[in-house]
Amino acid sequence: MKTIYVLAEHRQQRLRDTTWDALAAGRDLAQKTGAELACLLLGSGVDAMADQLAKECPKVIVVDDPRLANFNSEPFVKALSGLLAGRDSYVLVIGNSNSIIDLAPGLSVALDAALATDCIGFEVDGGKLKALRQIYSYKINALVSFKDATRIVATLRSGFFSFAPSGAGPGAIEKVASPLGDEPLRKRFLSYVEAEKGDVDIASADIIVAIGRGIGDEEDLSMFESLADAMGGVVACSRPIVDKGLLPKYRQVGTSGVEVKPKVYLALGISGAFQHLGGIKGNPLIVAVNKDPRAPIFRAAQYGIVGNLADVVPALEEKIKELKG
Amino acid sequence: MDIIVCVKRVPDTSETDLAIDKGGKDIQKGDLDYDINDWDRFAVEEAVLIKEKAGGKVTMVTVGDEDAEEMLREGLARGADEAFLLSDESFEGSDGYVTASILAAFLKQRSYDLVLTGTLADDDCGGQLGGMLAAMLGVPVATLVHKVDVKDGTVAVTRELEAGLSETLDIDLPAVVSVATGINEPRFVSIRAVRKVASIEIPTVDREELGLDEAAVGSAGAKVEIETVFLPPEGEGAEIIAGSPVDAAVRLAEILKEKGGIA
């Protein structure tokens, strides 16, 4: 492959952390394959971000167009396919995010490229790229290869590629005329919407009792509320509990929900998908109860019990009350 | 409003202990329960809700084998009007790209205003279908959608970003909308409702009827191949507290007290 391209993601005129993750992966791949490294920055009024990227990347290709201000996938796919047309033999790496989920699959079709989403690692084997992903509820690792390696798009899971400043000196900024034509967009960005605020702010809680899919069909949450009361904490949850309408969205811990930074996090019936773990910050003590011994939560937790919640939770509450005297 | 919903039947792997099969390229699936992909269940419900409001027809379609019929029939009981099974021996080994191509070939033979899918499938965790399908059909797409409002010729969607933030977009129809879980509350389907649709024929459509080349489907057409699958390394992991549930809970309470987990 000739070039490793890294697509910079930004929101409201700021580069997102996913961009630096992707640059770290891109730099590593460029080193392993001997390919060139270049960042692609598409946006509106992007000079400051271009300078920021050029400090860390030997080449930054910039397209400035007001229609690229927000990560609307329609103009992005069009502009990127125009930009990359004829530049064969490349890998385009992009940090995965909810904006990129909207963009990468369509882009891969437009580029006639192979796509691997949400990669957690790469191997270069005899000049051939292989990507590591997770399948089956993110519980199984899969190493995948690409039949035609001429054009590859790979999106990367956040947290698996860590960026360190290289201090390599300023790279070149190449400004390219916008490849977008005059045809009207069929998909139009309207606005950002902030989440509703609730009666409890789990982001500021020190002790969190979080429940997940593993509570089963139980709709009565009093057992968990009672335990949280005994501990002096609050009840939070993972996504399936919100989806079932059992708790409001402002109680959901995760990348799409609320980021929390407690001292103690008790995970009950939570499998520990990365979207959930991504919302737990500040390195708390994590304790998990789950009936599946292979649940990924046990890799994130310091202590665990493999068992049924109905057996463990009441006994736990009773002992906690006793210890409090 | 003609709505086509693309669904997939997947093994339930979320709460189950998984093992790798002998070939080393897949998991052992013999003992697993299969059902409609969780995300797709919300897509079916959303289609039926839109139909109930705006009128029209809901068509379900899947790529699979005859085992998928039960899932399609449940969708009919939920309120879909018709269902199609895209099935051919040559589809074996298809990747996300090929699956999207097969569905795109079916959609190109029909008229539709809106295509609904789930954003992600729990088996391949790829999140590719909606975006690929839209690109193949030449229509706009939005994924991770948790609110849909169909208007005259357009659809207003709200899609999830990170940390509680969402964005709203206005999209021309026809379009592909991939929904997020939690967009609605899928209704309960009684056995009686499933029986009522037992006589509805679910046509099977094969590769030739879709006008697809053998070289373009299955493992022949796939762009991405699985080399090997394995269980993630255990790493350091949690100290598992042994003993009866009550003994373990007692020990856990003591640990929590030590570490400041009791306010």
Instruction: Please report, rounded to a whole number, the percentage of residues in chain B having pLDDT higher than 90.
Output: 89
pLDDT over threshold 80, residue A231: yes
3-class SS of residue B196: helix
Strand, helix or coil for residue A143: strand
Whole-number Cα distances in Å, B253 to A46, A183, A233, A236, A320: 53, 64, 14, 19, 6
pLDDT band at B54 (very low <50, low <70, confident <90, very high): very high
Interface contact flag, B164 A249, Cβ < 8 Å: yes
Tell me what the pLDDT averaged over chain B comes to. 95
DSSP structure class, residue B231: P
Per-residue pLDDT at A216 exceeds 90: no
How far does chain B reach from its first CA to its final CA, in angstroms? 56
Within 10 Å of residue A283's Cβ, how many Cβ atoms?
8
| CATH 3.40.50.1220 for domain A202-324 | yes
Chain B: residue whose CA lies nearest to A302: B238
Query: How close, in Å, is residue A206 to chain B by CA atoms?
Result: 8
Tens of pLDDT along B178-231? Answer: 999 999 999 999 989 999 999 999 999 999 999 999 999 999 999 999 999 999
Average pLDDT over residues B226-237: 85
Average pLDDT over residues A229-258: 93
Contact A194 B246 (CB under 8 A): no
CA gap B210, B213 in Å, rounded:
9
Q: Is the per-residue pLDDT at A256 higher than 90?
A: no
**Closest chain A C-alpha to B195 CA, distance in angstroms:** 25
Does position A325 have pLDDT exceeding 80, yes or no?
no
| Cβ-Cβ contacts under 8 Å for B208 (sequence gap 6 or more) | none
pTM of the model: 0.91
Domains by residue range for chain B, with CATH: 2-221 (3.40.50.620)
Place of tokens 């920055």: A41
Q: DSSP strand E in chain A: where?
A: 3-7, 10-11, 14-15, 36-43, 59-64, 90-95, 114-119, 121-125, 128-135, 140-146, 151-156, 172-176, 187-193, 207-211, 234-237, 264-268, 285-290, 303-306
Contacts of B18 in chain A (CB under 8 A): 136, 139-140, 294
For domain A3-176, say whether CATH 3.40.50.620 is its number.
Answer: yes
pLDDT classification of B235: cutoffs 50, 70, 90: low
Instruction: Report yes or no: B258 at the A interface, CB cutoff 8 Å.
Output: no
Write out pLDDT tens, residues A296-323.
899 899 999 999 999 999 999 999 999 9
Residues of chain A found within 8 Å of residue B27, distances taken between Cβ atoms: 136, 140
Judge whether residue A197 has pLDDT over 90: no
Would A3-176 and A202-324 be classified into the same CATH topology?
Answer: yes
CB contacts < 8 Å between A and B, how many?
306
Residue among A8, A91, A3, A10 nearest A54 (CA): A8
Which phi and psi (to 5°) does residue A40 adopt? -110, 120
CA distance A292 to A307: 8
Measure in Å the smallest separation between the Cα of B199 and chain A Cα atoms: 32
Calpha distance A284→A302 (Å, rounded): 10
What is the bridge-based pairing of β-strands B57-63 and B2-7? parallel
Please answer yes or no on whether A106 and B132 come within 8 Å at the CB atom.
Answer: yes
Cβ separation A115–B238 shorter than 8 A: no
Band (A166; pLDDT cuts 50, 70, 90): confident
Q: Between chains, do B135 and A312 touch, taking CB under 8 Å as contact?
A: no
A242–B182: do the CB atoms touch at under 8 Å?
yes
Helix (H, G, I), strand (E, B) or coil at A155: strand
Name which of A162, A164, A21, A23 is nearest A97 in CA terms.
Answer: A21
Give B 132-161 residues with CB within 8 A of chain A: 132, 134-136, 139-144, 156, 158-161
pLDDT at A293 exceeding the cut of 90: no
Alpha carbon distance B60, B112 (integer Å) = 12
| Element at B211 (helix H, strand E) | none
Task: Give the whole-angstrom CA distance, residue B188 versus residue B194.
Answer: 11
A129 φ/ψ angles, rounded to the nearest 5 degrees? -90, 135
CB A153 within 8 A of CB A107: yes
User: Across the interface, do B224 and A115 touch by the CB < 8 Å criterion?
Assistant: yes
pLDDT digits (tens, 9 = 90+) for A40-58: 999 999 999 999 999 999 9
Q: State pLDDT tens for residues B17-44.
A: 889 999 999 999 999 999 999 999 999 9
Mean per-residue pLDDT, A260-289: 93
Nearest-CA neighbor of A155 among A120, A128, A118?
A118
pLDDT at site A218? 79
pLDDT at B263: 79
Helix, strand or coil, per DSSP, at residue A254: coil
Q: Is B245–A77 a contact, with Cβ atoms under 8 angstroms apart?
A: no
Provide the β-strand partners of residue A192: B167
Quick one: what percent of chain B has pLDDT higher than 70? Answer: 99
Domain residue ranges of chain A, discontinuous segments joined by +: 3-176, 202-324
In the DSSP assignment, the letter for residue A260 is B
Residue type at B224 in one-letter notation: V
Chain B hits for A303, CB-CB cut-off 8 Å, are: 238-241, 252, 255
Nearest CA in chain B to A233: B263
**Is the pLDDT reported for residue B164 higher than 90?**
no
Chain B residues 196-225 with a CB less than 8 Å from chain A: 222-225
Q: What is the DSSP string of A100-142?
A: HHTTHHHHHHHHT-EEEEEE-EEEEETTEEEEEEEETTTTEEE
pLDDT at A287 over 90: yes
User: For residue A312, which of B240, B112, B185 has the smallest C-alpha distance?
Assistant: B240
Residues 6+ away with beta carbon under 8 Å from A316: A227, B249, B252, B253
Residue in the block written with tokens 């709505």: B3
Residue A181 has pLDDT above 90, yes or no: yes
Place of tokens 């090929």: B98
As for the ipTM of the complex, it is 0.93
Stretch B43-48: mean pLDDT: 98
pLDDT in tens, A5-42: 999 999 999 999 999 999 999 999 999 999 999 999 99
Tokens linked to A115: 């796509």
pLDDT of residue B246: 92
Residue/partner pairs of B169-172 with CB below 8 Å, 24 or more apart: B169/A72, B169/A187, B169/A188, B169/A189, B169/A190, B169/B142, B170/A187, B170/A188, B170/A190, B171/A186, B171/A187, B171/A188, B171/B140, B171/B142, B172/A186, B172/A187, B172/B140
- Provide the greatest CA pair distance for chain B: 68
For residues A301 and A321, the answer to whether their CB atoms sit within 8 Å is no
User: A81 contacts in B (CB within 8 Å)?
Assistant: none
| Bond from prior residue into B203 cis (ω within 30 degrees of 0) | no
Which of B16, B160, B236 is facing A292, going by the closest CB pair?
B16
pLDDT average, residue stretch A116-135? 94
